[in-house]
Amino acid sequence: MSNITLPDLPYAKDALEPHISAETLEFHHDKHHAAYVNKLNELLPGSGLEGKKLDEIITATAKDDSKQGMFNQAAQVWNHTFYWNCMTPDNGGGEPTGDLKAKIEEDFGSYDKFREEFKNAATSQFGSGWAWLVADSVGGKLSIMKTANADTPLAHGKVAVLTCDVWEHAYYIDYRNRRPDYVDTFLDKLVNWDYANAKYKGQDAGVEE
């Protein structure tokens, strides 16, 4: 019996159009994300981690070279679920809101400076990976980090607040090789600041991750 399940997208597949197409989400969620879930469930039996939550599997395998394969699958399942919720079809993107607005201005100097640093992380990540807004702790100091491949802030003791997926399958159907344009669109049109605020405060936002 499967231990980890593929979560539904938090919106219809065409809800992010014209910024991200239904075709992209069909491949990205239904194929790539699903494949990570399926592979993880193949690896769990006999691991001693059956029945554990996804974040527990990630932290248990992060520093164990013998479980690198399991870590990669589990982290990608978590990263993708987080990423879907970082976007919204309802007036997403642009200036932050809530407590994060003041905190971003405090820790980066301005929203524009945050935007510049986040975009730089997303566009300069070599190969596949992720750009993140993270906090040192719940409600703590904010910073930008980028991770390669499946790596995730959970493995480094950070609180994930916002992420942009920069694996090519996240944007290539819609943007081809124009990763900077995809990142601009993510920041200006798609960011779900309500979700980011909830994660910064340590709230579950009604999402199982």
The answer on whether 165 is annotated among ligand-binding residues is yes
Q: What does 72-136 look like in DSSP terms, one character per residue?
A: HHHHHHHHHHHHHHTB-SSS-SSS--HHHHHHHHHHHSSHHHHHHHHHHHHHHS-SSEEEEEEES
> Is residue 33 marked as binding?
no
Which tokens in the block code for residue 196? 């980011």
State yes or no: 151 annotated in a binding site.
no
**Does the annotation flag 156 for ligand binding?**
no
> Which residues are annotated binding-site positions?
28, 80, 165, 169
> Which residues are annotated binding-site positions for Mn(2+)?
28, 80, 165, 169
